[in-house]
Amino acid sequence: GRDLICIQSMDGMLMLFEQESYAFGRFLPGFLLPGPLAYSSRTDSFITVSSCQQVESYKYQVLAFATDADERQDTEQQKLSSGKRLVVDWILNIGEQALDICIVSFNQGASSVFVLGERNFFCLKDNGQIRFMKKLDYSPSCFIPYCSVQEGTVNTLIANHSKILNVYQDVTLKWATQLPCIPVSVKVANFQDLKGVIVTLSDDGHLQCSYLGTDPSLFQAPKVDSREINYEEMNAEMKELQKIIREATKTQDILPESEKQRDITVIAEVSADLDKESQAIDSEVKAGAVPSVTVKITIQSRVTAQKPSLAVCVQAPLAVTCDQFVFDDLEPDSSETVVLSVFLKENCSPPELEGTCMVSYNTPTELNPEGIPRVSQCSFSLPLKLVCFPAQPSKAANHKLTIDTNKPPISFVTIFPDFVDPSEGDQANALGFQFLTGSKATLLASKTSQRYRIQSDQLEDLWLVTKELIYRLEEHFKKQNCKDFACTFSGSIPLQEYFELIDRHFELRLNAEKYQELLSERAVQFRAIERRLLTRFKDKTPAPLQHLDTLLEGTFREVSAV
């Protein structure tokens, strides 16, 4: 008569709840990334697929009597604890990552564990032995074992990224049908008199209920009476129908309105200068003065808007002085304005200098006086000077990137006027950026070629300056009405430095003893990542710049998370 709930966290912890009460938590051994998780009531076990590409089963009783998760970091305490070590019940190596796990039992028969892998489909007994497996010649997206139409067999639906839904009886393909989209989830349901409805959901929220086969047509068209056409009656009927359509269109609650007829418009204006008196509050940055910048947000309404509220979001470690605003109902052709400040709160550089404003409100209609929920939003960009200030360029650095362009180099006075002393004129070909967190980056422009170099002692510090340089160059040439400007990167992708950052990330999170235990296990994972990255960037010289952007941004987010 009670609900038992198991929650798997991102760090590999299983948290067990009885109703709303927390019972206990256990860490899965050798955990790296969360995988699919299912519960078998027949064996009272939790079954998952680990990052080692193994199907693993853990008895509930073993979880309940194992060492508590709170004692995981205390080695000496673990030795003295009465709890037992968490031991796996059975393991099966499938050699690939899994997309989903499903445990079913039809007709009071033995339960089966179905695992959908990246290239194979497995059916296991509840003790881990393989009943059968099917090699797939496509990339699957989701599946569901739904019934047993023949003794000893199970029917399964498997959807793939080619928009095909396949019906299998064990390993035999029985039917295949085309879908309008790629589903991420599929189920079989019964609705009133219509049984066996296939319900699919796509990654963009497209929900579809469909079924296989066709309905017989029981309707027989009556014989048409031969009579003369009355064009006047037809015209009158057509006008009446058009009038009904126009009225229905006016009170339509489902179709979105066009951009030109948006009910509420949100405009965010970022001040060109930093605040004279900083509005930063509770900042953890160790710099002497933490600057802030003012953002003015205006909400313009052309209709009646009920219960309007504004949310302002910036990505950590940035913060705003106020992120939630609630207004009274807005009348037609009215507006509201709020002012807030953005600043660097935590002692690390942000992965991006952007923010979002989102207004939620209700608009009443004839069919729904309570109002239809709607949302309007806009984004804004923050200045680079919010997180760094001009400094002396450095001649040497550990990490360097060279960006090639197809246009002569532009003077930094033109594209970085906020970081260059105007007295230097066009002679300034080196810029220094001192981040509030203490690190420094340098930007150099070649005098003889069409290249720019970004360098720093830390790889993650290259990202913001690289992104800002590309953005300002593109904006400059756009104003010059130049449509063929392009940036490329012809150097080697700094994979080794990237992997070293990942190693450092885990060293910060785990103590040295635990790190040594997991190092050999994670080395296998890193080599797999390395092979995929090397394959991805293979034969791309000069590489498109977005590949470098992806790597740099991923690096920055890893270190920023630390």
Does residue 81 surpass a pLDDT of 50?
A: no
Residues in the chain: 562
The pLDDT tens digits for 114-131 are 999 999 999 999 899 999
Region 360-378: what's the mean pLDDT? 87
CB neighbours of residue 274 within 10 Å = 17
Pair of tokens at residue 537? 């960037």
Does residue 271 surpass a pLDDT of 80?
A: yes
Range with the poorest average pLDDT among 135-149, 255-269, 470-484: 255-269
Angle at 349 between CA 347 and CA 354, to 5 degrees: 125
Cα separation, 403 vs 445, in Å, equals 10
In single-letter form, the type of residue at position 180 comes to P
Could you tell me the pLDDT band of residue 378, with boundaries at 50, 70 and 90?
very high
Region 39-65: what's the mean pLDDT? 92
Does residue 547 surpass a pLDDT of 80?
A: no
Task: Kindly report the average pLDDT of the chain as a whole number.
Answer: 84
Residue of 358, 311, 303 whose CA lies nearest to 329: 303
Region 31-40: what's the mean pLDDT? 91
Is residue 254 within 8 A of residue 365, CB to CB? The reply is: no
Q: Report the percent of the chain where pLDDT is more than 90.
A: 49
Region 459-487: what's the mean pLDDT? 92
Name which CATH class applies to 5-68+84-210: mainly beta
Could you tell me the pLDDT band of residue 443, with boundaries at 50, 70 and 90?
very high
Does residue 80 surpass a pLDDT of 50?
A: no
Give residue limits of the domains in the chain. 5-68+84-210, 264-384, 387-480, 498-561
Q: Is 560 helix (H, G, I), strand (E, B) or coil?
A: helix
Could you tell me the pLDDT band of residue 507, with boundaries at 50, 70 and 90?
confident
Environment class of 49 (CB within 10 Å of its CB; exposed 0-12, middle 13-18, buried 19+): buried
The pLDDT tens digits for 199-258 are 999 988 999 998 887 655 545 666 666 667 788 889 999 999 998 888 777 655 544 544
Name the residue with tokens 């060279």.
402
pLDDT confidence of residue 288: 77
Cα separation, 385 vs 416, in Å, equals 11
pLDDT confidence of residue 340: 95
Cα separation, 275 vs 292, in Å, equals 6
CB neighbours of residue 494 within 10 Å = 19
Angle at 58 between CA 55 and CA 59, to 5 degrees: 145
Region 95-112: what's the mean pLDDT? 86
Pair of tokens at residue 360? 């939620």
pLDDT confidence of residue 404: 93
The pLDDT tens digits for 283-293 are 888 877 899 99
Does residue 20 surpass a pLDDT of 50?
A: yes
Region 89-105: what's the mean pLDDT? 93
pLDDT confidence of residue 447: 85
3-state SS, 363-395, equals ECCCCCCCCEEEEEEEEEECCHHHCEEEECCCC
pLDDT confidence of residue 79: 44
Region 100-104: what's the mean pLDDT? 94
Could you tell me the pLDDT band of residue 86, with boundaries at 50, 70 and 90?
confident
Question: CA separation (Å) from 383 to 16, 293, 315, 410, 422?
Answer: 46, 8, 14, 20, 19
pLDDT confidence of residue 82: 41
Residue of 391, 346, 382 whose CA lies nearest to 273: 382
Q: Report the percent of the chain where pLDDT is more than 70.
A: 81
Residues contacting 72, CB < 8 A, separation 6+: 27, 78
The pLDDT tens digits for 319-341 are 999 999 999 999 999 999 999 99
Environment class of 318 (CB within 10 Å of its CB; exposed 0-12, middle 13-18, buried 19+): buried
Does residue 552 surpass a pLDDT of 50?
A: yes
Cα separation, 165 vs 530, in Å, equals 33
pLDDT confidence of residue 111: 86
Is residue 211 within 8 A of residue 186, CB to CB? The reply is: no
DSSP secondary-structure letter at 501?
A: H
Fold category of 264-384 in CATH: Immunoglobulin-like (2.60.40)
Pair of tokens at residue 2? 């009670």
Region 430-453: what's the mean pLDDT? 91
DSSP letters of 430-459? Answer: EEEEEETTS-EEEEEE-SSSSEEEEEESSG
Could you tell me the pLDDT band of residue 553, with boundaries at 50, 70 and 90?
low
Question: Right CATH number for 387-480 from 3.30.310, 2.60.120, 3.30.70, 1.10.101?
Answer: 3.30.310
pLDDT confidence of residue 559: 43
pLDDT confidence of residue 323: 93
In single-letter form, the type of residue at position 223 comes to K
Q: Is 10 helix (H, G, I), strand (E, B) or coil?
A: coil
* Chain centroid offset of residue 496 CA: 26
Residues contacting 472, CB < 8 A, separation 6+: 415, 416
Does residue 437 surpass a pLDDT of 50?
A: yes
